[in-house]
């Protein structure tokens, strides 16, 4: 079952629930049913994502997230840019370093397994890097958006304040051992 970020408590707290009627076109209802989610789950996830990404502040051609402007690239264009870098590993670290400075991201996960898992879950759901999982000292990126594992390793090393060793990389998966 899909779960929205920040919406877990609201669903459990019956005092916060308000019943509402929703009118949908038939094809929209069929689409929601095809996801395997209930209407409640679908809209809870949708609303949670809308709030988390501050989508109420989005305008045509201008997207922001936590007060920072964001843009979208398709993976082919992004991989072309990364492929032109002289040192993708160091560039990945520098990108992550700048993000940590501007967002005050967590600086160390090595001593806090729960914080690492939460960060990986949020990154996987919201940032489009691929399906990211962490378990047993391994960071796995399925369907990675960026195919250059040196860039990805540098980025995640800096974000996680950890040393990673790439164990496997291909177009479908990247596996890093957290050293």
Q: pLDDT tens, 90-140?
A: 999 999 998 887 766 544 454 567 777 777 887 777 778 889 998 888 999
Asked if residue 2 is part of any domain, the answer here is no
Of 19, 37, 68, which residue is a domain's last? 68
Domain range holding 46?
Answer: 8-68
Question: What contacts 24+ positions apart, CB below 8 Å, involve 68-71?
Answer: 68/102, 68/103
Both 114 and 164 in a single domain? yes
Both 34 and 90 in a single domain? no
Of 29, 44, 68, which residue is a domain's last? 68
Asked if residue 45 is part of any domain, the answer here is yes
Asked if residue 3 is part of any domain, the answer here is no
Both 105 and 146 in a single domain? yes
Q: pLDDT tens, 124-138?
A: 777 788 899 988 889
pLDDT in 10s for each residue of the chain, 179 residues: 344 444 444 455 667 777 888 899 999 999 999 999 988 899 988 998 888 878 888 888 888 777 777 777 889 999 999 999 999 999 999 999 988 877 665 444 545 677 777 778 877 777 788 899 988 889 999 999 999 999 999 999 998 888 999 999 998 999 999 98
Question: What do you get for the CA distance between the two ends of the chain, in Å?
Answer: 32
- Contact of 115 with 108, CB cutoff 8 Å: no
Asked if residue 129 is part of any domain, the answer here is yes
Number of domains in the chain: 2
Both 98 and 140 in a single domain? yes
Q: Running DSSP on this structure, what letter comes out for residue 172?
A: S
């Amino acid at each position: 079952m899909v779960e929205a970020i920040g919406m877990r408590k609201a669903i459990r707290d019956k005092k916060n629930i308000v019943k509402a009627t929703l009118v949908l076109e038939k094809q929209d209802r069929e689409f929601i049913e095809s996801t395997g989610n209930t209407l409640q789950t679908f809209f809870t996830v949708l609303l949670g994502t809308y709030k988390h990404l501050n989508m109420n502040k989005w305008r045509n051609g201008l997207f922001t997230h936590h007060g920072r402007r964001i843009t979208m690239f398709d993976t082919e264009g992004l991989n072309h840019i990364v492929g032109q870098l002289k040192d993708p590993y160091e560039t990945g670290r520098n990108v992550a370093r700048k993000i940590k400075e501007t967002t005050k991201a967590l600086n160390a996960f090595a001593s806090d397994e729960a914080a690492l898992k939460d960060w990986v879950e949020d990154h996987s759901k919201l940032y489009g890097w691929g399906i990211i999982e962490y378990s047993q000292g391994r960071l796995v990126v399925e369907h990675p958006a960026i195919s250059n594992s040196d860039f990805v390793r540098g980025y995640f090393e800096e974000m996680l304040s950890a040393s990673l060793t790439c164990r496997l990389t291909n177009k479908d998966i990247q596996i890093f051992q957290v050293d």
